[in-house]
Amino acid sequence: MEFKKRIRIITVKAFRAKFSSEEGCLEYLAKHRWPNGFVCPKCHNREAHWQAGRSIYWCKACEYQVSVTAGTVFHSTNLGLPDWFWAVYRMAQGKKGFSAMQLMKEIDVSYPTAWSVLHKIRCAMEERDKQYKLKGTIELDDAYLGGESKGKRGRGAEGKTPILVAVEKRQTRKGTKPGYVAIRIGKSLSSVDVMAFVDSKIIPGSIIETDGLSVYKVLCNLNFAHKQTVTENGIEAKELFPWVHLVIGNLKRFILGTHHHADPKYLRLYVAEYCYRLNRRFHEDDLFEHLLKACLLISPRKYNILGH
């Protein structure tokens, strides 16, 4: 089966016309799930009966029944696939984010339903980005999100959520530019947190640039080249590490501007949304396709366990 690799749709009317029926959306999902034709997950047979009324494939060899949405984020939900597709599209194209309040109004559902749908899509974003690691020269810094007061770095940051942020620094003929981004949310900021973050998100042998905070000294004992710079003589950290500070600043504006107040329990999902879109900023025309596929690869998530 063949299908267009890019969906260039800029209006609500055009998108709704293309994905207006449950049957059309199911066919589109099937083409993405089995681009080379149906394959039975149990016996690997390629021949099956399609039962439109139940939206399942019935394997001719072993009689195993497979729903197109089984094992995906779309399975066993009361929301129709046309509305699911619209939510995925809006999440993929919303450069400044997309809120549950907006989705609630656009597809005429309750706020809890809209909230749950978007968080399930964010789970798919999070899982997809776990596969990627940064390499080369990396700017690494920490920051704090949330809280009512400004606070201070370290012990003075009560009520805030600590994060570690890593940004690839790529060399160009005109200087440097930011590459891929990784962010880790934790309960504290310690050497253990730093070790866990770099081990999971940065390829060994990379050059990691940090400020003089003591927790970064542990990097000298790992398989990385560590370049630590103590800020002094009036030089601010954002001058030495411009890209990671730009990413942190934009993240804070994203959360404040679109979501206003992010519950710490679900903060990691808002961060995942930010990272997913940022890491694909040069592939906007393909984002709907990529995010739809990501939603096919993640198992169903229940409303009350999304934050765990």
pLDDT tens sequence across 180-230: 999 999 888 999 999 999 999 999 999 999 999 999 999 988 889 999 998
Residue 4 pLDDT = 45
DSSP helix/strand/coil, 214: helix
Q: What are the residues whose beta carbons fall under 8 Å from the beta carbon of 164, sequence distance 6 or more? A: 140, 141, 142, 183, 184, 186, 189, 193, 194, 197
Query: Please, what are the domains in the chain?
Result: 137-267 (3.30.420)
Which amino acid appears at position 117 of this protein? V
Q: Does residue 9 carry a pLDDT above 60?
A: no
On average, the pLDDT of the chain sits at 86
pLDDT band, very low/low/confident/very high, at 149 (cuts 50, 70, 90): very low
Q: What percent of the chain has pLDDT over 90?
A: 60
Residue 265 pLDDT = 84
Each residue's pLDDT tens digit, 236-261: 777 889 999 999 999 999 988 776 66
Q: Does residue 7 carry a pLDDT above 60?
A: no
Query: Are the beta carbons of 154 and 190 closer than 8 angstroms?
Result: no
Q: Report the DSSP pairing between strands 207-210 and 65-67.
A: unpaired
pLDDT band, very low/low/confident/very high, at 40 (cuts 50, 70, 90): very high
Measured between alpha carbons, how far is 86 from 305 in angstroms, rounded to an integer? 24
Q: E strand or H helix at 129, and its extent?
A: helix 111-129
What mean pLDDT comes out for the span 255-283?
85
What mean pLDDT comes out for the span 64-79?
90
More reliable by pLDDT, 55 or 133: 133
Each residue's pLDDT tens digit, 16-39: 899 999 999 999 999 999 999 999
Q: Does residue 161 carry a pLDDT above 70?
A: yes
Written as six digits, the tokens of 239 are 């001058």
One-character DSSP codes across 166-202: EEEEEEETTEEEEEEEEEEE-SS--HHHHHHHHHHHB
pLDDT band, very low/low/confident/very high, at 1 (cuts 50, 70, 90): very low
What mean pLDDT comes out for the span 116-139?
94
pLDDT band, very low/low/confident/very high, at 52 (cuts 50, 70, 90): confident
Written as six digits, the tokens of 61 are 């060899």
Place of tokens 């995925």: 88
Written as six digits, the tokens of 213 are 């905070």
pLDDT band, very low/low/confident/very high, at 8 (cuts 50, 70, 90): low
Each residue's pLDDT tens digit, 74-104: 988 889 999 999 999 999 988 788 889 999 9
Residue 158 pLDDT = 66
What mean pLDDT comes out for the span 102-118?
95
